[in-house]
A and B are shown apart, each in its own frame.
Chain A
Amino acid sequence: MSATEGAHPGLNIAHPHAQAQEETETALFGFWVFLMSDAVIFALLFATYGVMLPATVGGPTPATVYEIGPAFLETLILLTSSFTFGLASIAMKHDAPCRRILGWMGATLVLGLAFLALEVRDFITMFAQGATPMRSGYLSSFFALVPLHGLHVAAGCLWLVVMMAQVVVFGLDGRVRINTLRLGLFWHFLDIIWIALFSVVYLQGLIR
């Protein structure tokens, strides 16, 4: 496979020789496969949520516990964080100074943490209304699906911190570049999952 054949648009790694290019491609392809496996987990939890939606057993229903305001704000924050991560990737692609890459990563981290804080606040509100996972099958499925996404975002935040530390320690070496690209895929993947959560869980729940 020639160097150009193996190159992805947008991820030239600034290693001129073909072997590094191939390694990057293999690494990223592997991460894509991992994300697809992870997507199956989310798909099954969505299905479980759909199956258990009627099982409110006299407890809170979607319409009574969801709030569109915070959910919309969380959506905006997460989408913006994907944008800032994209800017970090572009900065890395053009070999911008580490300072700028760290800046965009930092912005992404702050937005990610803000998202998590708002989401936890949502959960606390729900708990205060008696909407706990122990209350009904429906709430169990909600609290398996939505917090799992939150847990992914939290893992992404930890990963961001690690990557920022590595940019400081190693600069933009091959490993840092590959892992930043992987983290980028992860972060955008969580965005897509959230879009699905927002439309399937929150919007549909409020229509009912």
Chain B
Amino acid sequence: MTEPLWPALLGRFGWQDLPFVRAWADPSLSEIIGAGAGALVVVGGLAVVVLITWLGRWGYLWREWFTSLDHKRIGILYVVIAFTMLSRALVEAVLMRMQQAAAINAPGFIAPDHFAQLFTTHGSIMIFFMAMPFLTGAINYVMPLQIGARDVAFPLLNAVSLWLTAGAAGLMMVSLVIGRFSTGGWTGYPPYTELAFSPDVGPDYWIWAVTLGSIGTTLSGLNFAVTIYKLRCPGMTLMRMPMFVWTSLCTSILMIFAMPPLTVATALLALDRYLGFHFFTNDLGGNMMNYANLIWLFGHPEVYILILPAFGVYSEVIATFSSKELYGYTSLVIATMAIAVLSFTVWVHHFFTMGQSANINAVFGIATMTIGLPTGVKIYDWIWTMFRGRVRFSVSMLYSLAFMMTFVLGGLTGIILAFPPLDYLVHNTLFLVAHFHNMLIPGLLYGMLAGYHYWFPKAFGFRLDEKWGRISFGCWVVGFYLAFMPLYVLGAGGMTRRSQAVFEPAFRPWLYVAGVGALVLLSALASLFVQLWVSIRNREANRVPVGDPWNAGGLEWSIAAPPPEYNFAVIPTVNDRDPFHGDKADGDPYAPPKRYEAIAMPANSMTGPALGVLGAVTAFGLVWHMWWLAGFGLAAGIATIVARSFVRDLHRTIPAAEVARIDRHWRRDIRKAKPVGRAVEGTPANRGLAEVEA
């Protein structure tokens, strides 16, 4: 602990809380890396500000993006957050792999405390600020288009969710520059994270960042579920919804019911730390097992919150790129729902070793293995979808194939872990780390990347570069196997997870291979950014303005790319499962509407950004015990909500003439475009008008 500088104003902040000061006082490599990361945040932040100012784009960003309530804009901003945070957390992963490879009977270059911060931020970011924003962004962008809606049910709430998530992610970044982060792992188990063992600001950063993010996620889940229940276009019955909408619905339901346990867990931990309660302390009746139950009551459904949307993406991608209807739609729906329900019945398998009876472990072990059944159904459905289809190996499809192989492998090690006696052997080892990366990298990251390649042309009007997409894909897959297969061996050999140093020379070759794998994964991310750069540079050649580059069947492909703000000039009516395929088969997919009507869209609002900033300010005040700041943030937040409730001018009407103008412009593009066959869909000939195959 350092000497507080000015407690009344700055709370418990002291000069030693700046990584630059720490690195000056103790210029070890570990501290210099910490200071470098802090400097990167400061310089990077400044560079972005300067760049935007230099380009004179503040007004544009504020009007068109930050205050926009358009679900498409909000979705894209979520994905921007996801990529930013992915970059940081992946670099942290590489640092950890390098440290373990260097620290075999040696101190390595990262101090134990710093290493603990690295695995805590890596896990917290990957779950809460990479995976969650990515899938929330994907659902936000795609789901309303797929159900023929003009926006989500509560557009303002959607912006509030986004900005709470952004505020929480900002808090994670600030923790690099001011103070330090928790060393308690991404689950923040007490009693270690209690004041008695972690009196510093670290766990408080974790508590408030996670709490802000989880409130945003709860509200997103609510918003999506209501949207799907209430805003489907005429004719879209539940059993006609695209698979991605089904998985979004299940994920939303899980968010509504599984995020509250996390909020309760972090709030009770905060009560312990701030007000001297005794929920999870060692003394005076604290019960830390209650925390384990609460966090995993959230944590296990969370796994399916992460994985189900990816299952939805794969269902779309595999059907489209096999030129076939999705096989076993009904069974996929039932399997998805079954997974969602079962996900609430297995949480104890995260702590088989923590003392409950063998019978309880057996029940939860069997429940866990049961989840393998609906998942198996899905895998077979996807395989049957490809069977005798004309499979095109596009980048999205490659991710889907890699997913199926890799995910089944991870599922098998999951069955091993679900068996309590075996779990005792590998609990808390790298075997577990290998297992959940083996589930989440194919089951979330590949899925989101497949979706990114699949829907990017819809969102921005041009396709992503194929060559760099394939390079990046290759690196993600090879990197994954190199980085994580050795961890199975190491874990089975007894190497515990989260070790800063290693004392078994026999582990060396495996750690080296894993280290190389981490570097390959880093180049995968770099290739992804190169791909984005190249694609933007060559965008004119790869434009698909008509909007159907892959000859797909969902409603989202029946409109322009990028879609107009109001999505559909006229709300469509559907009468089968792949409505756009139906229209194309009927020969008139782009029938112009009889007449255009004015459309009311939600007007911009600064409530979202205001609440996000105030939420982050409150959290920052709480972390540093700057009570005046926390009080101000809270009061201003409440005032903002009350003030917003007095606003009556909620809509902006787009006149019928404007709708007609935009629609006719798009129809000119359709007339100009030449229909292309699937063989050339990856070439500039593809303008987004699909040749209808007999």
Contact = CB atoms under 8 A, between A and B. Distances in A.
Interface of A: 22, 25-26, 29-30, 33-34, 36-38, 40-41, 44-45, 48, 51-52, 55-57, 133-138, 140-141, 143-144, 158, 162, 166, 169-170, 173, 175, 179
A85 to B, nearest CB: 18
A170 B277 CA distance: 45
Among A56, A137, A166, A170, chain B packs the most CB atoms within 10 A around the CB of: A137
4 nearest A-B pairs in the assembled complex, by CB-CB distance? A137-B285, A55-B285, A140-B277, A40-B260
B619 interface: no
A30 B645 CA distance: 17
B290 A51 contact: yes
Contacts of B229: 29
Given A51-B287, A137-B284, A33 B278 contact: no
B646 interface: yes
A48 B257 CA distance: 17
Nearest to B275: A133
22 contacts: A30-B154, A33-B226, A33-B256, A36-B257, A37-B222, A37-B256, A37-B260, A41-B263, A44-B261, A48-B264, A52-B287, A55-B285, A55-B286, A133-B278, A134-B277, A136-B278, A137-B285, A140-B271, A158-B642, A162-B642, A162-B645, A175-B645
B279 interface: yes
B648 interface: yes
A135 to B, nearest CB: 7
Nearest to B645: A162
Contacts of B645: 162, 166, 175, 179
B285 to A, nearest CB: 3
B230 interface: yes
Among B256, B285, B297, chain A packs the most CB atoms within 10 A around the CB of: B285
Given A30-B154, A141-B279, A173 B648 contact: yes
B285 A136 contact: yes
Given A38-B260, A133-B278, 15 more contacts: A26-B231, A30-B154, A41-B264, A44-B264, A52-B279, A52-B285, A55-B278, A55-B285, A57-B284, A133-B276, A134-B284, A135-B284, A140-B271, A140-B278, A143-B277
Interface string B130-173: 00000000000000000000000110000000000000000000
B259 interface: yes
A152 B290 CA distance: 24
A89 to B, nearest CB: 18
Nearest to A175: B648
B456 to A, nearest CB: 31
Nearest to B265: A44
A48 B268 contact: yes
Nearest to A163: B645
B218 interface: yes
A162 B641 CA distance: 11
B226 A30 contact: yes
Among B263, B275, B279, B297, chain A packs the most CB atoms within 10 A around the CB of: B279
Among B261, B263, B276, B277, chain A packs the most CB atoms within 10 A around the CB of: B277
Contact of B256 (A36, A134, A166): A36
A138 B642 CA distance: 36
B631 to A, nearest CB: 16
B101 interface: no
A37 B642 contact: no
B222 A34 contact: yes
Given A134-B276, A136-B278, A40 B261 contact: yes
B225 interface: yes
Per DSSP, chain A at the interface is helix
A44 B278 contact: no
A34 B257 CA distance: 10
A10 B394 CA distance: 55
A33 to B, nearest CB: 5
A37 B259 contact: yes
B233 to A, nearest CB: 12
Interface size classification for chain B: 35 or more
Given A41-B264, A136-B285, A166 B226 contact: no
B290 A52 contact: yes
A143 B277 CA distance: 9
B294 interface: yes
B271 A144 contact: yes
Contact of B226 (A29, A55, A173): A29
B573 to A, nearest CB: 13
A22 B218 CA distance: 24
A149 B628 CA distance: 26
Nearest to B281: A137
Given A26-B153, A37-B257, A40-B257, A140 B279 contact: yes
Interface in B559-613: none
B222 A33 contact: yes
A33 B225 contact: yes
B489 to A, nearest CB: 40
Given A26-B226, A29-B230, A137 B263 contact: no
Nearest to A54: B285
Contacts of B287: 51-52, 55, 137
B290 A144 contact: no
Contacts of B268: 48, 144
B51 to A, nearest CB: 39
A150 B515 CA distance: 53
B479 to A, nearest CB: 38
Contacts of B275: 133-134
A143 B267 CA distance: 13
Among B226, B267, B271, B272, chain A packs the most CB atoms within 10 A around the CB of: B226
B264 A45 contact: yes
A138 B285 contact: yes
Nearest to B297: A44
Contacts of A48: 264, 268, 279, 290, 294
Contacts of B261: 40, 44
A170 B647 CA distance: 11
A144 B271 CA distance: 8
Contacts of A37: 218, 222, 256-257, 259-260
A141 B267 CA distance: 12
A30 B222 contact: yes
B207 to A, nearest CB: 15
Contacts of A45: 264
A187 B29 CA distance: 58
Interface in B275-310: 275-279, 284-287, 290, 294, 297
A38 B222 CA distance: 12
A38 B256 CA distance: 9
A48 B648 CA distance: 42
A52 to B, nearest CB: 6
Contact of A25 (B218, B223, B230, B277): B230
Interface string B228-272: 011100000000000000000000000011011101100110011
A140 B277 CA distance: 5
Among A34, A38, A40, A158, chain B packs the most CB atoms within 10 A around the CB of: A40
B210 to A, nearest CB: 15
Nearest to B229: A29
A141 B272 CA distance: 11
Nearest to A161: B642
Contacts of A158: 638, 642
B275 to A, nearest CB: 7
B257 A56 contact: no
Nearest to A148: B267
Contacts of A144: 267-268, 271, 277, 279
Among B272, B278, B642, chain A packs the most CB atoms within 10 A around the CB of: B278
Nearest to A48: B290
Contacts of A30: 153-154, 222-223, 226
